[in-house]
Chains A and B, each alone.
Chain A
Amino acid sequence: MAADALIELRGVNKHYGKLHVLQDIDLTVGRGEVVVIIGPSGSGKSTLCRAINRLETIESGTIRLDGVPLPEEGRALAELRAEVGMVFQSFNLFAHKTVLANVMLAPVKVRRKKKEEAAQRARELLDRVGLAAHAEKYPAQLSGGQQQRVAIARALAMEPKALLFDEPTSALDPEMINEVLEVMRQLARDGMTMVVVTHEMGFARSAANRVVFMADGRIVEDRTPEEFFTAPRSERAKDFLSKILKH
C-alpha cells in the first residue's frame, strides 16, 4: 500500500497554545483506501483532517499529497486543494447560491470549465446523490441531510483525488444520517480515497479499510475495523469502545 500512497503525513505536530493537539502524527492513506478516524472529542481528529488540506497549519513535519508536499500559501496551495474535496460538519453550502450554482461554482471558476458543461455535470452529480429535483432551491430550503448530500456533490464536482469528511453526520437529525452514509458507502465502493472523521461505528465497520483511533493528539491504534472493534489493544480504545457501544 505504501508504494501507492496518496496522502502521507510524517512527524506532524501542532499546538493550540499549550495544548499539543497533534503529536508526531505519521499516517499514510493509500489510493482507493477508506480510512476512518475515531476517538474521543478533543483528541485531534478534526484538526488532523483539516491539516490535510491546510485549513489548519502545522508547526513541524511534512504532509504530501500524491508525492507533492503541501505548499505554504497562494496559488499553488489553491491548486492542490482543488484536488482534495472536503465535506464539513456544518455543510457550509454557499448560502447566497442555489444548489446547482453551489455545485457548479468551483468547476467554472477554478477549473475554467464551460458553464453548460459544468451545469450538466452538476445535474448528474445531484442525480447521483438523489437531489436532482432540488437543483434550483437555496440551501436554507433543504433539510440537513439534503444539504450534506449537496456538499458531497459539490466536492465531487472538482473530480478530486481524495475526499476528506470532517464529522459529516454529527450535525444531522438521526433519521437523516443514513441517507448521507449511504452516499458515502457508494463512494467507497466506487474506489474513492476517503479520510472520514466520524462517530458512526457502523460506517467504520462496514466501509473502512482501516480504523485509526486517536486520543490526546496521538494515533493510538491503526488497524482493520474487524481487529479494532473485536480486539482493541490499548486501554484507551477499550475504554472508548465500551462507552459508545453499550447503547
Chain B
Amino acid sequence: MNVLLDNLSLYGKGLLGTVELTVYASLLALVLGFAMAAFRVAPVGSLRIFGTVWVTVLRNTPLTLLFFAVLLGLPRFGLVLPFQLFAVLALGCYTSAFICEVVRSGINTVPAGQGEAARSLGMTFPQTLGLVVLPQAFRSVIPPIGSTLIALAKNSAIAGSFSVVELLGVYKPLNERGYGIVWSFVWIAVGYLLVTLTISALFHALEQRYGVVR
C-alpha cells in the first residue's frame, strides 16, 4: 500500500502520460480511421488502393516494430519531433487501421438501398456517406470502436520503452528505489483499469444515446 502513497506524484505523472497518449492517439486514430474507411468505399480507384495499402501495412506490422520505424526512422529523414508526439503518431496510425475496418464493417451493415436512394436524389459521394450511410453505420460501430480504443490504451505501454513518460514505465524508478515488484505492478494495473473502464463507460453512454433501437 505504501508504494502508492509514497510515490503518488510518480504514479500521477505516469497515469497522466498514459491518458495523454491515449486521448491524442485515439483522436488521431478516429480521424484517420474514418477517412480511410471513406477511402476504401470511394468510387475513385486510387483512393480505394491507398486505403487498402494503409490498412494492410499498418495492421500487419508489429506495433513495437512500428515504434522503431517511427522513432528511429523518421529522424533519419530529417523529421525530428518530441518522442511523445512520435509515439502518438505510431499509436494513432496503427490503431486507425483497425478503426477503418470496424467502420467499414459498419458501413456494410447499412442496406445498399440507403446509398442508392441518396445517390438517386443527386447527392455526391461525400454527401451520401456523411449524411446517410455513416450516421446509420455509427450506431453499430460504437461497441467495437470502444474495444479498439481500450486496446490502444494498453498498447500505449510500448511507448514507455522509448523514453516516453507513461504508466508502465513507473516500475523502473520504483524498482531502483527497492519497492516490491508485486505491489508496484498492482497499482500500475489499477491505473490502466481506471483508463480502460473510463473508455468503457464513455462508450456505454454513447451506445445508450445513439445505439441501434431494437
- Interface residues of chain A, those whose CB is within 8 Å of chain B, are 53, 55, 73-75, 78-86, 88, 90, 92-96, 105-106, 109-110, 151, 154-155, 158
Contacts and interface: CB of A to CB of B under 8 A. Distances in A.
B43 interface: yes
Contacts of A155: 120-121
B120 A81 contact: yes
Contact of A94 (B117, B120, B122): B117
> Most B CB atoms within 10 A — which of A75, A83, A85, A105?
A105
A74 B114 CA distance: 18
Given A73-B43, A75-B124, A110-B127, A94 B119 contact: no
Contacts of B135: 96
Interface residues of B, number: 19
B66 interface: no
A77 B124 CA distance: 9
Contacts of A82: 121-122
B117 A93 contact: yes
A75 B128 CA distance: 12
B113 interface: yes
A82 B123 CA distance: 8
A90 B139 CA distance: 22
9 contacts: A74-B43, A78-B119, A81-B121, A90-B111, A92-B114, A92-B116, A92-B117, A94-B118, A106-B118
B131 interface: yes
Interface of B: 43, 111, 113-114, 116-124, 127, 131-132, 135-136, 139
A198 B95 CA distance: 49
A85 B120 CA distance: 7
A15 B94 CA distance: 41
B47 to A, nearest CB: 12
Contacts of B117: 86, 88, 92-94, 151, 154
Contacts of B43: 73-74
Main DSSP-derived SS at the B contact region: helix
Contact of A92 (B113, B124, B127): B113
A155 B127 CA distance: 17
Contacts of B124: 74-75, 78
A154 B121 contact: yes
A53 B122 CA distance: 10
B123 A94 contact: no
Question: Which of B116, B119, B122 has the most C-beta atoms of chain A within 10 angstroms of its own C-beta?
Answer: B122
Contact of A106 (B113, B123, B136, B139): B123
A80 B113 CA distance: 19
A78 B123 contact: yes
Q: Which of B113, B117, B131 is most buried by chain A, counting CB atoms within 10 A of its CB?
A: B117
B136 A55 contact: no
B113 A95 contact: no
B208 to A, nearest CB: 16
A94 B127 contact: no
Contacts of A93: 117
Contacts of B121: 81-82, 85, 105-106, 110, 154-155, 158
B112 to A, nearest CB: 9
Contacts of B119: 55, 78, 81
B106 to A, nearest CB: 13
A158 B118 CA distance: 12
